[in-house]
A and B are shown apart, each in its own frame.
Chain A
Amino acid sequence: MNQQVSPHTLPALPYADNALDPVITASTIGFHYGKHHRAYVDNLNRHIAGTEYADMSLEDIIRATSGKADKAGIFNNAAQIWNHTFYWKSLRPGGGGEPPAALKEKMEAEFGSVNTCKTVFSAAALTQFGSGWTWLVLDGESLKVVKTANADLPLTTGLKPLLTLDVWEHAYYLDYQNRRPDYVKAVLEKLINWDFALENIP
Chain B
Amino acid sequence: MKKWILLMVLPALLSLSCSQDGGVSDLRFDPLPYAYDALEPYIDAETMELHYSRHHKAYFDNLVAALKGTPLARQPLEVLLAQASRLPDAVRNNGGGHYNHAFFWKVMSPDGGGVPEGKLGEKIEASFGSFDAFKEAFTKAALSRFGSGWVWLCVAKDGSLFITSTANQDNPLMDTVEKQGKPILALDVWEHAYYLSYQNKRGSYIDAFWHVVDWDAVAAFFEASL
Q: Do A and B bind?
A: yes
Which residues in A have some Cβ–Cβ distance to B below 8 Å?
31, 35-36, 39, 72, 76, 129-132, 149-151, 168-170, 173-174, 177-178
Q: How far is the CA of A178 from the CA of B146 in the complex (A)?
A: 20
Beta-carbon nearest neighbor of A38 in chain B: B200
Range, interface on chain B: 20 to 34
Q: Which of B16-24, B64-72, B190-198, B205-213 contacts A (4 or more CB under 8 A)?
A: B190-198
Q: For chain B residues 166-191, which have a beta carbon within 8 Å of chain A? A: 167-169, 190-191
Q: Are A178 and B50 in contact (CB under 8 A)?
A: yes
Q: How far is the CA of A39 from the CA of B200 in the complex (A)?
A: 9
Instruction: Report A182 CB to chain B, min CB distance, Å.
Output: 13
Offer 10 A-B interface pairs, CB within 8 angstroms, sorted by A.
A31-B200, A39-B200, A76-B146, A129-B93, A131-B147, A131-B148, A168-B147, A169-B191, A174-B196, A177-B50
Q: For chain B residues 52-100, which have a beta carbon within 8 Å of chain A? A: 54-55, 58, 89, 93
Q: Are B200 and A36 in contact (CB under 8 A)?
A: yes
Asked if B130 is at the interface (CB within 8 A of a chain A CB), the reply is no
Q: How far is the CA of A186 from the CA of B89 in the complex (A)?
A: 28
Task: List 10 A-B pairs, minimum CB-CB distance, nearest first.
Answer: A169-B191, A150-B147, A130-B168, A131-B147, A130-B148, A35-B200, A173-B195, A178-B54, A131-B148, A31-B199
A residues near B55, Cβ cutoff 8 Å:
178
User: Taking A35-B200, A130-B168, A169-B195 as contacts, is the C-beta distance between A151 and B146 under 8 angstroms?
Assistant: yes
Q: Are B54 and A177 in contact (CB under 8 A)?
A: yes
Which residues in B have some Cβ–Cβ distance to A below 8 Å?
50, 54-55, 58, 89, 93, 146-149, 167-169, 190-192, 195-196, 199-200
A residues near B195, Cβ cutoff 8 Å:
169-170, 173-174
Q: How far is the CA of A125 from the CA of B192 in the complex (A)?
A: 17
Beta-carbon nearest neighbor of B144 in chain A: A73
A residues near B190, Cβ cutoff 8 Å:
130, 169
Q: How far is the CA of A132 from the CA of B168 in the complex (A)?
A: 11
Beta-carbon nearest neighbor of B47 in chain A: A177
> Chain A CB within 10 Å — which of B55, B93, B192, B195 has the most?
B195
B residues near A150, Cβ cutoff 8 Å:
146-147
> Chain A CB within 10 Å — which of B93, B168, B169, B196 has the most?
B168
Beta-carbon nearest neighbor of A35 in chain B: B200
Beta-carbon nearest neighbor of B193 in chain A: A169
A residues near B58, Cβ cutoff 8 Å:
178
Contact of B192 among A35, A39, A169 (CB under 8 A): A169
B residues near A35, Cβ cutoff 8 Å:
199-200
Instruction: Report A68 CB to chain B, min CB distance, Å.
Output: 14
A residues near B191, Cβ cutoff 8 Å:
131, 168-170, 173
Q: How far is the CA of A177 from the CA of B148 in the complex (A)?
A: 15
Instruction: Report B198 CB to chain A, min CB distance, Å.
Output: 10
Beta-carbon nearest neighbor of B97 in chain A: A129
